[in-house]
Amino acid sequence: MKSEAITRIRKLSQLYAYTSIQMHENIARKAGLSGTDQKYLGFFLVKGAMTAGELMEVTGLTSGAVTGLIDRFEKKDLAKREFAKTDRRKVLVVPDTEKIMQLLAPLYKDYRSHSEQLIGSFAEEDLKIIEKFLEGSIAIMSETVNQFKDK
């Protein structure tokens, strides 16, 4: 019986991932971005300013692809290149967090509200189980990402 539950959860997890991709792709299009560019903006919201090398590391993109990504963000005034104050040889890509949030927050408003309502409908003990599952899933995915990174 446990194997049936595992199969159900794995299928739901896959469906969740696919539906998430569809949702983010549609929201990105509404914002005038590609789905991947929109997700890469999320790295800036979490990490703040990064060098092109750091952006390559978190995205897995080539240097040429990262240059194109930065160019697209600059063209939309969502990020800009700046010399580091401590080392002028170092160029940082600095996100305009306020503009990014102005662009994306309205598009996520309903989703965020409904998600919070859903999460709020669970008992505290259930939330701990969900949290444990998500943390474990993230760890497994991070391990898989690291396994396939070019070394």
pLDDT per position as a tens digit, 16-31: 999 999 999 999 999 9
Mean pLDDT of the chain: 93
C-alpha closest to that of 54 among 39, 42, 66: 66
Per-residue pLDDT, averaged over 125-129, amounts to 98
**CA–CA separation, 2 vs 9, rounded Å?**
11
Bridging pattern class, strands 50-51 and 91-95: antiparallel
Give the whole-number percent of the chain exceeding pLDDT 70: 98
92 DSSP 8-state letter: E
What pLDDT, on the 0 to 100 scale, is given for residue 151? Answer: 58
81 DSSP 8-state letter: E
**CA–CA separation, 23 vs 37, rounded Å?**
14
Structure tokens at 131: 């949290």
Delineate the domains of the chain, giving CATH numbers in brackets: 2-120 (1.10.10.10)
Rounded to two decimals, what is the model's pTM? 0.82
